[in-house]
């Protein structure tokens, strides 16, 4: 039962990762694209393709193992010499379930952003002719929901597909690190800092293009995580390069 469920989740999340990391619109020569540096320009084009190649390869590899585990356990060692038929290397754990959930929410969220922005959504930072500042859908709550969902999608991908390290020999030095919490935290921090750098460039271009309208919009929205109102109290999460703070604002007090 769990083996079939995992196979379904692997296929579903891989499709969502593919759709969520595929550029829906290309920039044209008539668009304004501020310089992000040569490295960033190629990274925007290559990294999604590399990620897709890794995810599909890992999905096929894991699916073959799950198929053999369900229908022909004795054949596992034929295809996976380092594995044992008596030990399940891809158990459905709480970490993998969190990973699947993040990929589903992140992937669907990215598609929501694609649909909301329409032709204005590009992987390159782009200001088109007759560009409009979209403030509906997820953009009514935060300025960069696509990056929030991208962070969820990519973090979930890491949690699900890092299990491929289980198939490495125990003598492989990086195996322990890849499966450790330190590796997961390092991955998330580095990915977030890269997003933060890109957002800074993007917001400068938007401020230049929309001026007062952009300033009014930024005064009402957060970058990545929306303000949550509970019983007349406002809960806000502030993330900077150095620290994370949570503020709870009541009628007369602010708690941190």
User: In this structure, are 179 and 241 located in the same domain?
Assistant: no
pLDDT score recorded for residue 214: 93
What string of DSSP letters covers 119-143? Answer: GG--SS--B-TT-----SGGGGTBS
Token digits of residue 52: 């897709």
User: In this structure, are 14 and 131 located in the same domain?
Assistant: yes
Strand order from edge to edge, sheet including 233-239: 228-230, 233-239, 244-249, 254-255
How many whole angstroms separate alpha carbon 172 and alpha carbon 165?
9
User: In this structure, are 122 and 243 located in the same domain?
Assistant: no
User: In this structure, are 125 and 168 located in the same domain?
Assistant: yes
User: In this structure, are 88 and 192 located in the same domain?
Assistant: yes
User: In this structure, are 135 and 256 located in the same domain?
Assistant: no
Q: What is the pLDDT of residues 47-88, one digit of tens each?
A: 899 999 999 999 999 999 888 888 888 888 888 877 766 567
User: In this structure, are 45 and 144 located in the same domain?
Assistant: yes
Share above pLDDT 70 across residues of the chain, in percent, rounded to a whole number: 82
User: In this structure, are 196 and 141 located in the same domain?
Assistant: yes
User: In this structure, are 219 and 250 located in the same domain?
Assistant: no
Element (H, E) at 228: strand 228-230
Widest CA span of the chain, in angstroms?
68
User: In this structure, are 64 and 130 located in the same domain?
Assistant: yes
Q: Can you tell me whether residue 239 is helix, strand or coil?
A: strand
Tell me, what CATH number does 23's domain have? 1.20.120
Token digits of residue 95: 């970490």
User: Is 32 within 8 Å of 124 (Cβ atoms)?
Assistant: no
User: In this structure, are 135 and 63 located in the same domain?
Assistant: yes
pLDDT score recorded for residue 211: 92
CA angle 78, 81, 83 (to 5 degrees): 110
Element (H, E) at 249: strand 244-249
pLDDT score recorded for residue 104: 98
**Structural domain range at position 250:** 226-256
pLDDT score recorded for residue 228: 56
How many whole angstroms separate alpha carbon 246 and alpha carbon 253?
14
Element (H, E) at 236: strand 233-239
How many whole angstroms separate alpha carbon 89 and alpha carbon 83?
8
Q: Which residues of the chain have pLDDT under 70?
A: 1, 32, 35-41, 84-87, 171, 227-256
Q: What is the pLDDT of residues 191-209, one digit of tens each?
A: 888 888 888 888 998 998 8
Which pTM does this prediction carry?
Answer: 0.81
Number of structural domains (the chain) is 2
User: In this structure, are 69 and 141 located in the same domain?
Assistant: yes
How many whole angstroms separate alpha carbon 57 and alpha carbon 74?
23
User: Is 239 within 8 Å of 224 (Cβ atoms)?
Assistant: yes
């Amino acid at each position: 039962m769990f083996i079939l469920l995992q196979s379904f989740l692997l296929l579903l999340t891989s499709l969502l990762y593919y759709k969520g990391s595929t550029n829906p619109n290309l920039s044209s020569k008539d668009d304004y694209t501020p310089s992000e540096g040569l490295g960033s320009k190629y990274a925007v084009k290559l990294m999604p393709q590399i990620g897709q190649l890794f995810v599909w390869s890992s999905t096929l590899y894991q699916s073959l193992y799950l198929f053999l585990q369900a229908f022909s356990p004795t054949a596992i060692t034929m295809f996976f010499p380092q594995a044992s038929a008596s030990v399940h290397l891809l158990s459905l754990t709480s970490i993998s379930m969190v990973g699947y959930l993040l990929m589903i929410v992140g992937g669907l969220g990215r598609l929501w952003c694609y649909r909301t922005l329409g032709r204005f959504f590009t992987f390159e930072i782009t200001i088109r002719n007759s560009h409009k500042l979209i403030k509906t859908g997820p953009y009514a709550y935060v300025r960069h929901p696509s990056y929030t969902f991208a962070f969820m999608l990519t973090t979930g991908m890491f949690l699900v597909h890092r299990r491929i390290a289980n198939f490495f020999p125990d003598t492989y030095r990086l195996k322990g690190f890849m499966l450790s919490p330190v590796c997961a935290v390092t991955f998330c921090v580095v990915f977030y800092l890269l997003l933060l750098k890109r957002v800074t460039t993007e917001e400068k271009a938007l401020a230049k293009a929309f001026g007062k309208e952009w300033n009014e919009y930024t005064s009402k929205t957060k970058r990545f995580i929306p303000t949550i109102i509970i019983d007349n109290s406002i809960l806000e999460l502030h993330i900077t390069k150095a620290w994370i703070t949570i503020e709870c604002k009541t009628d007369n007090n602010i708690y941190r």
